[in-house]
Structure 1
Amino acid sequence: MEIPRVPKICRRIPTIFTVHGTYYPKSELLKVVALASATICVSPPVYEYVQEETSVEPILIANGVDTKEYSERDVTELKAQLNIPEEAFVLLYSSRINWTKANICMMLLRACKDVKLSKAPHLHVVVVGDGPRFKDLENLTDLIHRTCKDSFIHLVGEKQDMQHYYPIADCVVGTGRVALEAMACTKPVLAVGNHGYFGLVDKNEYDNAWNYYFGDHNSRHACSRFTLARDLGTIIASSQQLKNIGLQSREWILNKFEVTKVTEELIELYLDKLKDETT
């Protein structure tokens, strides 16, 4: 990443740098934070990462969620379009299909095959996302369908209207922003991300899940097909508990991540930095 020269006329304009992950090369991170009037981190692990790697004191401001847009909605038509039976238990996974996220997705599909054959013949899986390994996903799906003699995995590709897809699920497997948006839609989340496995997020685990960013920036342990299959089997057998977890999850999102609250924090920071430059 090449850092552009800053014209003299711009040097009194406040600059806010937002760090979204722990993947930045240290040399480039140091260059950018040196130019910034303030550095925002979107999760506790990222906050700790910036503290460890730089001399700046970052500010923790979470990604906000539009809880009016991301909420419960009728999914009858979408289920019909995807040919998902009304009585099906629907699991949803959403991410870009590349690198670690593609590996997680394929591990999940293999675990779902195990659960489908042993415990939950009514299981259906919706995968939202695209990327360079999408063809690998299609090939694996074809193999699983032949083994199970049932076309229960629905690869829908990239979608820009995730607020319509989360509500179709009984449980969402994901991390980071996917987890936050799914919880806003009253969906329980099985958290697994780039760093590893976290597990089912209930009211006793909110703080831990947030501090780990749902497995994306930190985790409890490595993810495996066995772990996923074991926990999915338990989750599918606990439908009423899942509904309660989903409703509680939305309340947590409303209290902590509602977009208007986050926007107010950002505006306050912007105004403070503008004031600093004019005094």
Structure 2
Amino acid sequence: MGERLDTSAFFSISDVVVGTGRVALEAMSCKRPVIAIGAKGIFGIVKPDNFKLAWRYYFGDHRAKETLEISKIENLILTALRSKKSSKNWGEAGREFVKKQFNISGIVDKLLSLYQS
């Protein structure tokens, strides 16, 4: 799609977002379920029990759980689309994770500590 400046409007009409890095984080902040697929391969569906691992793997861009295969991607998309209740819960929990992980006060404290040292 190229550069988008309207990601919240764009994601709000999506049932599920396939992406990595900033795309995954923006989708999570918009309460959308994420299937993380990056340069290193497939991480999978991002769920509350794997949020921190997904972040450490940078959603498949730095490391991945599986290699890229069309059938695996198709199965992940079907699973996410069929699991409406779970997908809603993943989206809600994703928003909370992003709010906690990237709270501006916490980020500023980390930066100030870094510069002070």
Q: TM-score, normalization: structure 2?
A: 0.90
Aligned pairs, number: 117
For structure 1, the 5+ residue unaligned runs are: 1-127, 130-157, 274-279
| Alignment partners' CA distance in 2, 1:213 and 1:176 | 6
2:84 pairs with 228, 239, 242, which one?
239
Indicate the RMSD between aligned Cα atoms, in angstroms.
Answer: 1.4
Which residue of structure 1 lines up, in the alignment, with residue 75 of structure 2?
Answer: 230
Question: Is residue 265 of structure 1 aligned with residue 110 of structure 2?
Answer: yes
C-alpha deviation, 1:255, in angstroms: 1.3
Q: Percent identity?
A: 38
- Match of 2:22, SS state, is helix
Deviations 1:230-262 (A, max 9, x none): 111121111111011100111111111223421
C-alpha deviation, 1:205, in angstroms: 0.9
The 5 A counterparts of 1:51-70 are none
| Alignment partners' CA distance in 2, 1:191 and 1:211 | 12
| Alignment partners' CA distance in 2, 1:165 and 1:261 | 28
Letter matched to residue 187 of structure 1: R
For structure 2, the 5+ residue unaligned runs are: none
Which residue of structure 2 lines up, in the alignment, with residue 179 of structure 1?
Answer: 24
Which residue of structure 2 lines up, in the alignment, with residue 163 of structure 1?
Answer: 8
| Alignment partners' CA distance in 2, 1:161 and 1:267 | 31
Deviations 1:200-247 (A, max 9, x none): 011111122112111011001211111111111121111111011100
**Residues 21, 59 of structure 2: 8 Å contact kept:** yes
C-alpha deviation, 1:176, in angstroms: 0.8
Higher Cα Rg, which structure: 1
1:205 pairs with 39, 50, 55, which one?
50
Q: TM-score, normalization: structure 1?
A: 0.40
Runs of 4+ in 1 over 6 A off after TM superposition: none
Letter matched to residue 212 of structure 1: Y
Letter matched to residue 34 of structure 2: V
**Residues 33, 80 of structure 2: 8 Å contact kept:** no
